[in-house]
Every structure is written in structure tokens, then in C-alpha cells.
Structure 1
């Protein structure tokens, strides 16, 4: 026999549903924010996302970036061309493999990006101020695990 009362199970389902809906809404809002940032920088949303991946994981090879971004390598070529023309990245020879190229972020323009995201960053800092360290650790763990679940779902859909 279950130790969870029916009303407790209903509340748990309701809260789980509320979390999933909030994550969907957050995803949409972050996508819209990236679109606005991209428009200000004269980049497409996918360019901004790839630039973020290069900043996080670079120097990185184009194949590895394509896998991380879930993009076909041919699609990535146009994105990389735009990022290179805009002064966001450099393509350099891989010192370990003369045939390969690494993508390196150019930090000169990072202040532009940071400025465009500053409103969201400040709002998140204010929200975090309402939580104690244990609650923040719980939230960080939840978001990390949710991000991993999203990556797994993306990989499954793309056949990886």
C-alpha cells in the first residue's frame, strides 16, 4: 500500500505539470530574448546559440560544434561564415591535426553580448537573492539535470 495520500499525489502531479509548463514558457522567453539579441547584433538566433557554444567549449572543431548544436555540417558552414565575418570567431589550424580547423571565440566583442543580456542577468540575480544557499543548490541541481534531460531528448530525436 502506498504511503502517499491521494490528495498528496494529486498535488505532486499538479506541481510537476506546473514545472513543465514553466520550463516551456522559459524556453520560449529565452528563445525570444536570443532573437532580440541576434537582431541587435545582426545575427540569426542560431548564430547566437552557436557563438555561445563556441564561447563555452572553444576552441572546438566544427564537427564537434555541429554535434553539440544538433546541426548538419553544411548548415553550420553558413553560420560560421557569418560569425567569422562579424568578428566573433576565428578559424585556426588544429595544432594536433594539420587537416582540422578549430573555432576560437574572439573576446573583443563580448562586452556587446554581455550588455544585451544584462537585463536578464540582473533579474536572475534579484530572483536568486530571495533564496538561501540550500535552495539555490537545489535549483542549480534541478536545472543541471533538466538541461541534461533536454540534451538526451535532443540526441534521441536526432538519431545520436
Structure 2
């Protein structure tokens, strides 16, 4: 009888832990979104009228990378050397120039959609968990996640509507 009570207790504890961990995951996701996403009410779509070449030239003044790095990113979804912070900072500059990242390094989902980088905000939401580290690393991990989804899914999950 003592063993039966232990089993009931353990199963009850497991159910309680499972339910509470689910709510913690949802809370964590909400906190992550609040920390990394720009408030749409205060976000502006004031992207400068830069061409891709202008943005490349502007960001390459400070964060010098070769086109090989960008080609590798487009072909594979990642940079050849993921320890080099310079290309990561280039990507942060790129996203800021396109107004996808604001001055507080928060993501403007509306702008990401408006520029055609993603079809809707779902991909951004799904990639938030990858955004860890310094501001440059977070920007790169966002780009890596979105790029990988584009490669794997044909144009990311967003196109499957």
C-alpha cells in the first residue's frame, strides 16, 4: 500500500509539474516577445530609401565583410565562421538600415513584412528563441533562423497559407 501511495503521489506531482511548466513556457514566450519585439503602436516604418547596394556599402564601412559571407548565408543559412563577430554586426547594421531592428534592437515585425523579408510575423515569433547573446549575435541568429526557414521551407512557413 505504501508503494501505491508513492506512485499516486509521483503521478500527481508529474501532472502538477507538467501543467505549471506549460504555463511557465507561455509566460517565458510572452516575456521574450515583449523583450525583443518593438511595440507596433510606437514603431514607425521610416526606412530610408536605400537600395541593397547602399546598405551593403554603408554597413561595410564599419563592419567589413566580403560578398562570399553573404553568398554563404544565402546558400546555407549561416556564415562560414560563426565565431567572427564582424559579420554578425554587419547583419545588425543591415537590419537597422532596413528598419527591421530599431535603435533599441527590438524587431519591427510590420517592417519585416513590409520589406518582404518574411510573409507574416509568424516566422519572427518562431525565431525569437534563437536570439541570444550580444546585440550583434541576436541579429545574426535572427537572420540565420529566417534564412534557414526560407531555405528549408521554400520561402519559410509563412508561404504555406
Structure-1-length-normalised TM-score: 0.29
Higher strand share: 1
- Structure with more helix by fraction: 1
TM-score (norm 2): 0.29
Greater RCO (Cα-Cα under 8 Å, separation 6 or more)? 2
